[in-house]
Amino acid sequence: MVVTSPMLSATLNSLLLTAAIGFTPVEVSQLDGQTHSGTLVALSPEQVVVETSAGSQTFATRELYALRFLDALADDDFLPPEDLVSVEFSDGSSVQATSFSVEAGRATINMSEGDPMLASTRSVRAVRFFKPVAELSKQWDQIVTASDIAGDVLVIRKTRVAEDENGVQQESIGLDSLEGVLYEITDDHVAFEFDGTRVEVPRHKVEGIVYFHRATNRPTDPSSRVFTLDGSAWNLKSCELKGDTFNGVSVGGVRLSLPIVNLTKIDFSVGNLVFLSDLQPDTFEWKSDLETVKTPSVVSTWYRLRLDEGFYGGPLLLDGHSYEKGLALHSRTKLSYRLTREFERFAATAGIDDRYRADGNVTLTVSGDGKKLLSEELSGTRQINIDLDLRGVRRLEILVDFGEDAVGYGDYLNLCNARLMK
């Protein structure tokens, strides 16, 4: 008999844990544009540990943009199961499930991989049992987003046959909806009460269901958004790795447990920050340095605000780094954002796009509620990291003006990873 000390057992367990996930190749993207490749060692709500060619590196999740799982992204052979059930949760999560059933107000959701999930129907917004088809998309969206829903909704797919102008019968499909009360759901039927009568509707006739929920307070922001191979996307308030299993709790309180090989990406930016490229500016104005009465109006479209790309379709480039998120602006551009939520910081990396550094020369001014927070001359290879206090600010204004040369030639400014942080 071999006796193992508690300390040795703990060491062995730690080694086994590292070995189990140490072969998972990942790419870490930081908010400053840097990327690091290696193998995943550990993941918690606060940090990610990756073994890189330079050794073990620890990254705070609040400083990360995303964690990508390279093996999953390169898996061209993955085929999702047929007849998936689409489940949409009230917290914005969306799941591709292999089955969905309900008993006594509690839903059981089976996935192609991982353990079954249990969820209160109070956390479920809508379920679609049929594979979506283009001709029904508009009808389905109208039913799900209707503002006058006063009860649970049962959606039936119906086939209609009608004669065309030549007397030939044509078949089409459409959706009908009824309001009432939903009860148990099985593989065979959906129990539904309509006008005081309870019926069991065969599942093969049911396109989907929509649960009625009274208006509540705005849900808690997620700390991360997790994407999987089958197309599911989870808004999570916490997550961690245990061996080769990814565990998480959604904002709506649903617990999930999935093999790590099913993950494609963890987006850490959601909840912690908002990118300006994901917001609609309150105002936008561009003026040419050589504008005359004969200047064609189409010129203004050439120099419009670019979101998540540089001018002329290229990526956002600064000092050899390519950024996924950000704004590209040409002098003279002025825009503003109305801040409807509380933010503490505005941050970005700013500079002339790599392809135009020989000619670009701008003055960048950032203001909050009319008060100047930053004014910098940017030309050539000069770039700056912006980090401004936004506490109490309700209107953010950005001006990209002509530089010392007073002309706009080459004035292509990139505001990379321009973001509002809580």
Answer yes or no: are the C-beta atoms of 368 and 303 closer than 8 Å.
no
CB 204 within 8 A of CB 191: no
Identify residue 406 by its one-letter amino acid code.
A
Residues 361/333, Cβ–Cβ less than 8 Å = no
Share in percent of the chain as helix, strand, coil (round to 5) = 15, 50, 35
What pLDDT does residue 294 have?
A: 53
pLDDT digit string, tens, across residues 399-415: 999 887 766 677 889 99
Question: What pTM does this model have?
Answer: 0.71
Q: Which of the two residues, 75 and 417, has the higher pLDDT score?
A: 417
Of 157-161, 180-184, 290-294, 304-308, where does mean pLDDT reach its minimum? 290-294
Q: Percent of the chain at pLDDT above 90? A: 53
* Tokens 């379920």 -> residue: 127
List CB contacts of 204: < 8 A, sequence separation 6 or more: none
What average pLDDT does the segment 283-287 reach? 87
Give the separation between CA 303 and CA 365, rounded to whole angstroms: 18
The residues spanned by each domain of the chain are 6-73, 85-265, 274-421
Question: Which pLDDT band, with edges at 50, 70 and 90, does 10 fall under?
Answer: very low
**Pairwise CA distance, residues 62 & 315, whole Å:** 24
118, pLDDT greater than 60: yes
pLDDT, position 76: 61
> Does pLDDT of 1 surpass 80?
no
CATH code that applies to domain 6-73: 2.30.30.100
Distance, CA of 404 to CA of 302 (rounded, Å): 23
Choose between 322 and 181: higher pLDDT.
Answer: 181
pLDDT at 297: 55
Lowest mean pLDDT among 28-32, 41-45, 200-204, 326-330: 28-32
Q: What is the distance between the alpha carbons of residues 414 and 328, in angstroms, rounded to a whole number?
A: 5
**DSSP of 277-323, one letter per residue?**
GGS--SEEEE--TT--TTS-TTHHHHTS-EESS-GGG--EEETTEEE
Residue 219: the pLDDT is 65
Q: Does domain 274-421 have CATH number 2.60.120.1060?
A: yes
Greater model confidence, 66 or 17: 66
Question: What digits encode the pLDDT tens for the residues 230-264?
Answer: 889 999 999 999 888 999 999 999 999 989 988 99
Instruction: Collect all residues with Cβ–Cβ distance below 8 Å to 213 and sequence separation of at least 6.
Output: 90, 122, 125
> For residue 18, is it left (φ>0), alpha (ψ between -120 and 50) or beta?
alpha
Q: What is the pLDDT of residue 287?
A: 80
Please report, for residues 91, 191, 303, 371, 386, the alpha-carbon distance to residue 212 in angstroms, rounded to integers and kept in the order given.
Answer: 14, 16, 46, 46, 45
**Residues 10 and 49 sit within 8 Å (Cβ to Cβ):** no
Residue 338 neighbours by CB distance under 10 Å: 12
Q: Which of 411, 258, 250, 420 is nearest to 343 (CA)?
A: 420
Please tell me the predicted confidence (pLDDT) of residue 21. 45
Question: Does 13 score more than 60 pLDDT?
Answer: no
> What are 347-382's pLDDT values in tens digits?
999 999 988 888 888 999 999 999 999 999 998 889
User: What was the pLDDT predicted at 7?
Assistant: 45
Report residue 79's pLDDT band, with 50, 70 and 90 as the boundaries: low
Q: Which carries the bigger pLDDT value, residue 49 or residue 273?
A: 49
Q: Which helix (H) or strand (E) holds 414?
A: strand 412-421
